[in-house]
Amino acid sequence: MAHLRRSPHRLCVMMNPVLSLVPANNPSVSLARFMYLNFSGVLCPTGGPPAGGNSAAPGECYYYVNFSRYKIGIMLHLAGVLPASLLAVVQFTPFIRKRWILVHRITGYAALLLYTIGLIGALMIARRAFGGGMEVQVWVGFVGIGVLVCFAISYANIKRLQIEQHRAWMLRGWFYAGAIITTRLIMIIATQFISDKGYYAVWPCAKIEATLQNKANWLDAYPSCASYANGTNLDQVSAIAASFGRGGAPNAGAALNLNFGMALWLALAIHAVGVESYLQLTPKEAQRLRQVSYQRQLEAGMKDPGSAGLTADRLGDAEKWVPEATRKDIDCTSTPTVSTHDHHMGTT
């Protein structure tokens, strides 16, 4: 990181960390979070956080305000994921899928484009987001690109009119992306367990000073930052005790930073199990959609109707799928008949 001299008037101070972590799990909350697109007024206000404390988590604005890469990254991320999350709700609304198929297609393309923009922003800020540990960076790359792969497979299937596979992979993609919502809940809970329990995070002294609301005598709490304060070592770092609810903004930020990576991976595991459980529990819907796929692929003159997309019987060793009408014919012709002679022998 380039050397950065102190400029307290340009740096953000503490916000209410609980309010900032409320998950956007419904359209109304998602709309409310559009206010974070106001960078200088809400996300990282130059005059300090607003009355409600709705701004970035403690310490995050140090990078957003002072480094163009991270400011551009967070704005791209928010500008992409916030509208994409609203469009995802529209995509999974049955009425729109069945009655307004054109709207479903247009919003689908828009959601994918917006997600890609948001992913680019996430990759740009991953190095500094909530501490930017290796576990965080790997998660952002693995899940972010993995979700994009799910969307690509889903898109390939719908172009081949394989509707049930389009549904399955689109569900997987949005379930994995939605893990960030559960992550926030886990972070809030986990911080209660590690607060004042001997957990420490290491921050640059410049970040500590930028995050403090009251900078008077701040070196008494962080004496190792003396070399930073006198200008001899602008890259000096200091340990911060993780404390949520006590201490200052750096302590709350440290508690959140220490939990973020763990919460990301735990939330991903929960969502992965959840989406696969849902898919396993809805086989009738999958079979119904495959029958619809068969009819449409047959009308389109595709080879192997019912399995023209990326299906297990086409790519793997699953049994060959047969349409419902053919299955009934096979069942009728394969039903054994009892002869009259066998009947009399059985009753003798």
Least confident of 58-67, 159-168, 281-290, 330-339: 330-339
- Provide the whole-model pTM: 0.81
pLDDT of residue 94: 79
Partner residues linked to 202 by β-bridges: 239
Least confident of 161-170, 240-249, 254-263: 240-249
pLDDT of residue 30: 58
Type of residue found at 308: A
**Confidence bin at 216 (pLDDT 50/70/90):** confident
Least confident of 114-118, 154-158, 265-269, 316-320: 316-320
Q: Is 239 helix (H, G, I), strand (E, B) or coil?
A: strand
The percent of residues above 70 in pLDDT, for the chain, comes to 82
Type of residue found at 337: T
Q: Compute the average pLDDT of residues 75-79.
A: 95
DSSP class of 321: P
Asked if pLDDT for residue 28 goes beyond 60, the answer is no
In sequence order, the 6+-apart residues with CB closer than 8 A to the CB of 317 are none
**Confidence bin at 7 (pLDDT 50/70/90):** very low
Q: Compute the average pLDDT of residues 239-267.
A: 92
Which carries the bigger pLDDT value, residue 311 or residue 50?
A: 311
The sign of the CA dihedral 92, 94, 98, 101 is negative
| CA-wise closest residue to 166 among 215, 105, 221 | 105
Q: How far apart are CA 205 and CA 235, in angstroms?
A: 7
Share in percent of the chain as helix, strand, coil (round to 5): 70, 5, 30
The DSSP-derived string for 86-98 is HHHHHHT-HHHHH
Average pLDDT, the chain: 84
Q: How far apart are CA 230 and CA 78, in angstroms?
A: 37
Which two tokens mark 256? 């959140």
pLDDT of residue 97: 77
Query: If 0-12 CB within 10 Å is exposed, 13-18 middle and 19+ buried, where does residue 156 land?
Result: middle
Phi, psi (5° rounding) for residue 49? Answer: -70, 155
Task: Give the range with max mean pLDDT: 34-38, 190-194, 242-246.
Answer: 190-194
Q: How far apart are CA 251 and CA 199, in angstroms?
A: 10
Which carries the bigger pLDDT value, residue 1 or residue 204?
A: 204
Q: If you count them, how many residues does the chain have? A: 348
Q: How many helices and strands, by DSSP H and E, does the chain display? A: 17, 2
pLDDT of residue 12: 35
DSSP class of 309: S
8 neighbors 209 (Cβ within 8 angstroms)? yes
Least confident of 18-32, 34-48, 218-232: 18-32
pLDDT of residue 17: 34
Phi, psi (5° rounding) for residue 174? Answer: -75, -30
Q: Is 22 helix (H, G, I), strand (E, B) or coil?
A: coil
| CA-wise closest residue to 144 among 172, 113, 114, 120 | 120
Number of Cβ atoms within 10 Å of the Cβ of 69: 13
Tokens 């790519």 sit at which residue? 315
In sequence order, the 6+-apart residues with CB closer than 8 A to the CB of 282 are none
Report the half-sphere exposure of 125 (CA within 13 A, side-chain side).
25
Asked if pLDDT for residue 5 goes beyond 50, the answer is no
Which carries the bigger pLDDT value, residue 98 or residue 300?
A: 300
| CA-wise closest residue to 288 among 263, 237, 324, 250 | 324
